[in-house]
């Protein structure tokens, strides 16, 4: 079965999360096409889209692909689909709804240099006319200029998935995919989980719930109610997302104020989202002494933002960066040695390190990862090597990490997946090179 997944702004991280979730659930996949906006996958089984979407921080839409067409030369989507949209065909895309139907059209290009803004209107007009000719009351919702795809906000606010359909076209140089959106990301709920919490301290920096969710998913397959530890828990964002995803949350921090903030936030969260009592535990501790606080507990994974060092409003000088890195290396050497006291072989540590943005696409990063590698940890590739080699726009650093940043942010997050112990090699799930679109493989 073919699905398309619309990726978030930091698309490399979004794709890494998605593929890891599929692997964790035992779902085999082939990558049929990929761009910075969207990935087309062939899955060996049907997925529960709403359940998937709720646990994917980096995916904006999940689309069920229904038909595929070969393109001739530089055909526009409207030319390819001229005879495709009949009343019977369109009816199959729509939900049963007795009132005025709402529908939208989105086009995603597999080649970012090719735009189809005018095509959206042409196809929407064609569908609308066919429906009106059958005495259907219908309204077409178009993307906001200059976009050629509806945002999750537009889909939600216009109730498109309840009152009609979002028809999605994914256009490459060789093929054209047509499908319907099954679910979109609940942007309102992410905002609630972030901004409505009772204790927020922007001065110390707060990881967004979406990123926390992505990091938890990168920890690999975890059993329900498995124990996830955040030894630098701050205001408790990772802990709340762990509870929401069905795990038990353990959190510690050196500062009593952070423990108090987490307690307030997690109680609010537990009541707001009807989480059972006893799903989290907090304690004040230095991360390098945390084993004393969790005797005999089996930790499934460690997921933490760690400490990113000082908060800056402008770029610090290089000697200051290097001093920060030196202090962090010393701290993490102690911490990763401590983790070995209770981690089991095969467990993962998902960690954020600071990355200073020195230009639009360049970062000053910690010079090495000796604090982990000399203590028996290995850095895992967040994406299959064949995939990141083929699609050059995927931004994995030479040391197998992914940078998550925001506009005008001085200190970005370098997200790294560490594996503790010996790595057991398994047969990787890689793309079908013969069947994949390649037009965007070498484009930034």
DSSP notation for 341-389: TTEEEEEEEEEEEEEEE-SSS-EEE-S--HHHHTTTEEEPPSS-HHHHH
Q: CA-to-CA distance for 281 and 58, rounded, in angstroms?
A: 27
Residuewise pLDDT in 10s, the chain (444 residues): 999 999 999 999 999 999 999 999 999 999 999 999 999 999 999 999 999 999 999 999 999 999 999 998 789 999 999 899 999 999 999 988 888 999 999 999 999 888 899 999 999 999 999 999 998 999 999 999 999 999 999 999 999 999 999 999 999 999 999 999 999 999 999 999 999 999 987 666 689 999 999 999 999 999 999 999 999 999 999 999 999 999 999 999 999 999 999 999 999 999 999 999 999 999 999 999 999 999 888 899 999 999 888 888 889 999 999 999 999 999 999 999 999 999 999 999 999 999 999 888 899 999 999 999 999 999 999 999 999 999 999 999 999 999 999 887 899 999 999 999 988 765 445 544 334 454 444 443
Q: Which two tokens stand for residue 303?
A: 């997921």
We report the CATH number of the domain holding residue 350 as 3.40.50.150
Q: How many CB atoms lie within 10 A of CB 96?
A: 5
Is the same domain home to 238 and 386?
Answer: yes
Angle in degrees, 0-180, between the axes of helices 237-244 and 187-195, rounded to the nearest 10: 140
Q: Name the residue among 146, 135, 161 with its Cα closest to residue 53.
A: 161
Is the same domain home to 206 and 354?
Answer: yes
Note down the domain range covering 322: 202-420
Task: Tell whether 156 is covered by a domain.
Answer: yes
Is the same domain home to 373 and 325?
Answer: yes
- The pLDDT value given to residue 361: 81
The percent of the chain in helix, strand and coil, each rounded to the nearest 5, is 35, 25, 40
Is the same domain home to 232 and 336?
Answer: yes
Among 157, 185, 213, which residue terminates a domain?
185
**CA dihedral for 387, 388, 391, 394, sign (positive or negative):** positive
Among 155, 185, 215, which residue terminates a domain?
185
Is the same domain home to 158 and 235?
Answer: no
Is the same domain home to 159 and 214?
Answer: no
Is the same domain home to 215 and 76?
Answer: no
Task: Tell whether 396 is covered by a domain.
Answer: yes
Q: CA-to-CA distance for 39 and 437, rounded, in angstroms?
A: 10
What's the pTM value of the predicted model, to 2 decimals?
0.94
- The pLDDT value given to residue 419: 97
Task: Tell whether 440 is covered by a domain.
Answer: no
- The pLDDT value given to residue 61: 98
Q: CA-to-CA distance for 307 and 55, rounded, in angstroms?
A: 25
Is the same domain home to 17 and 132?
Answer: yes
Q: CA-to-CA distance for 323 and 151, rounded, in angstroms?
A: 43
Task: Tell whether 435 is covered by a domain.
Answer: no
Is the same domain home to 206 and 181?
Answer: no
Is the same domain home to 268 and 155?
Answer: no
Is the same domain home to 16 and 162?
Answer: yes
Is the same domain home to 170 and 260?
Answer: no
Count of domains in the chain?
A: 2
Give the 3-state secondary structure of residue 157: helix
């Amino acid at each position: 079965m073919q699905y398309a997944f619309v990726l978030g702004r930091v698309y490399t991280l979004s794709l890494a999360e998605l593929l890891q979730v599929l692997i964790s659930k035992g779902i085999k996949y082939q990558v049929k096409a990929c761009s910075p906006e969207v990935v087309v996958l062939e899955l060996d089984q049907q997925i529960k889209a709403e359940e998937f979407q709720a646990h994917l921080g980096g995916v904006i839409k999940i689309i069920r692909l229904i038909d595929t067409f070969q393109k001739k030369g530089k055909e526009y989507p409207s030319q390819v689909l001229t005879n495709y949209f009949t009343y019977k065909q369109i009816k199959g895309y729509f939900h049963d709804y007795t009132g005025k139907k709402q529908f939208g059209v989105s086009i995603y290009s597999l080649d970012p240099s090719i735009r189809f803004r005018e095509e959206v209107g042409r196809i929407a007009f064609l569908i609308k006319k066919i429906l009106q000719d059958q005495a259907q009351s219908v309204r077409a919702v178009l993307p906001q200029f200059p976009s050629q795809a509806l945002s999750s906000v537009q889909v939600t606010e216009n109730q498109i998935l309840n009152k009609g359909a979002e028809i999605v076209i994914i256009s490459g140089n060789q093929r054209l995919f047509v499908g319907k959106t099954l679910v979109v990301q609940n942007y309102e709920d992410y905002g609630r989980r972030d901004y409505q919490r009772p204790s927020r301290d922007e001065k110390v920096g707060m990881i967004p719930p979406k990123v926390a969710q992505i990091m938890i998913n990168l920890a690999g397959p975890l059993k329900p109610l498995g124990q996830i530890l955040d030894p630098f828990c701050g205001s408790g964002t990772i802990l709340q997302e762990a509870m929401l995803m069905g795990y038990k949350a353990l959190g510690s921090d050196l500062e009593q104020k952070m423990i108090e903030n987490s307690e307030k936030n997690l109680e609010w969260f537990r009541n707001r989202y009807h989480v059972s009592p006893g799903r989290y535990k907090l304690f004040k501790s230095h991360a390098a002494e945390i084993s004393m606080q969790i005797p005999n507990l089996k930790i499934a994974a460690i997921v933490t933002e760690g400490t990113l060092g000082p908060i800056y409003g402008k770029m610090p000088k290089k000697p200051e960066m290097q001093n920060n890195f030196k202090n962090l290396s010393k701290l993490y050497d102690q911490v990763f040695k401590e983790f070995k006291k209770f981690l089991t072989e095969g467990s993962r540590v998902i960690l954020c390190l600071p990355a200073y943005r020195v230009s639009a696409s360049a970062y000053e990063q910690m010079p090495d990862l000796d604090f982990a590698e000399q203590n028996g940890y290995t850095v895992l590739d967040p994406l299959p090597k064949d995939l990141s080699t083929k699609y050059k726009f995927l931004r994995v650093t030479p040391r197998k990490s992914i940078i998550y940043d925001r506009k005008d942010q001085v200190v970005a997050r370098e997200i790294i997946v560490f594996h503790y112990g010996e790595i057991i090699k398994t047969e990787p799930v890689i793309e079908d090179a013969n069947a994949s679109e390649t037009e965007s493989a070498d484009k930034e």
